[in-house]
Amino acid sequence: MIQLLDAAPAPRHHVPSVRAVPRLSQAHRFFMARTPSLSTLRQFRMLAQTANFSRAAELACVSQPALSRTIRLLEEDLGGRLFDRDRRHVALTPAGEDLLRLTERLVADFDDAFEQLGQTLSGQRGRVVIGVLPSYAVGDLPGVLSLFRDQWPGVDVTVREGLAGTIYQHLRERQIDLAVMTPPEEASGDFTFTPLFADPCALVCRAGEAPDNPGWDSFAERPFIAMAPSSSVRQITDAAFARAHLAPRPLYDCAQPATLGAFIAAGLGISALPLSCRPMVGAHDLEWHRLSDPQAERIIGIAHLSGRSLSPAAQNMLAALSGGKIKPAAAVRTR
């Protein structure tokens, strides 16, 4: 156990009172007629470094009389001599040495700040937030991000996955810069949408259990495992069933294709998914058969807020996502 003991009283000593430093009166404060410009300070630094008016004027790309006038005006503005000079020598005064130290700091901070700004304006630095469909996140996106990182290593990228409704709301609230999504639902001018590729649907079933003639009619004979009503996949399948004059009962309303794939693998039924969802259910042994008559597909593209200027980093990401052209859907092997 640790006990805390009172220390023996220390001998009393006289402690002199601390006098407050008097503030300078308004009459004793330093005032400058003009604040020196950065150009003036750069010329001062060149003269201090070279100790030669001719050489400093040459480096500053000004005439020697112009440099002499700049230094004279600087000394007048500061109210003190900065250089001791005669016909042969130019040397800093103590005041000039103090100003040189200050100038070095100011110029370095200025150059560093504008170097960072230049990198931001050129897209070499910055931050980009993109919202994507889960199927795109596990499909094409990793390759796009790998190429983007190699070209723009100073840009931080944040990826947010979600359904179209949520991502478009984040776009509207300026929480994300770009979205790889299906087209926006409402026909408003809030968003600019650039199509990338068509994503056709396929009938998905357990391996070895495909219908004799896979098609939309197959869903009238087998249980239909459906995606959630709010998903773009469900909207596509509902529209295709309506055109085919079919009304299969949707089961389970899965939120993610991975869940739907597991249910198919368990023998609970069949489903229809866009081909881009295949990587999300790749852990299961499933068959994919393209669906037609009617054709059902979704368009995947890049969206951003119409009235918002994209940062240079976001513009570079837009170029990386688009690849400079509209591309077809990836080929998929079917059984």
pLDDT digits (tens, 9 = 90+) for 3-35: 344 444 444 544 444 455 455 455 555 556 678
pLDDT at 30: 56
Q: Which two tokens stand for residue 314?
A: 């976001």
pLDDT at 2: 34
Residues written for the chain: 335
pLDDT at 124: 81
pLDDT at 283: 82
Number of H helices, E strands in the chain: 10, 11
pLDDT tier at 333, thresholds 50, 70, 90: very low
Q: Mapping DSSP to helix (H, G, I), strand (E, B) and coil, where does residue 159 land?
A: strand
Which domains are assigned to the chain? 33-120 (1.10.10.10), 126-196+299-322 (3.40.190.10), 198-297 (3.40.190.10)
pTM of the model: 0.66
Q: End-to-end CA distance of the chain, in Å?
A: 77
Give 27's Cβ-side CA count (13 Å radius).
0
Percent share of the chain, pLDDT over 90: 67
Exposed / middle / buried, residue 156 (Cβ in 10 Å: 0-12, 13-18, 19+): exposed
Tens of pLDDT along 168-219?
999 999 999 999 999 987 656 789 999 999 999 999 999 999 999 999 999 9
Per DSSP, helices labelled H in 244-322 are 257-265, 312-322
Q: Which two tokens stand for residue 250?
A: 């949707």
pLDDT tier at 331, thresholds 50, 70, 90: very low
DSSP state, residue 328? P
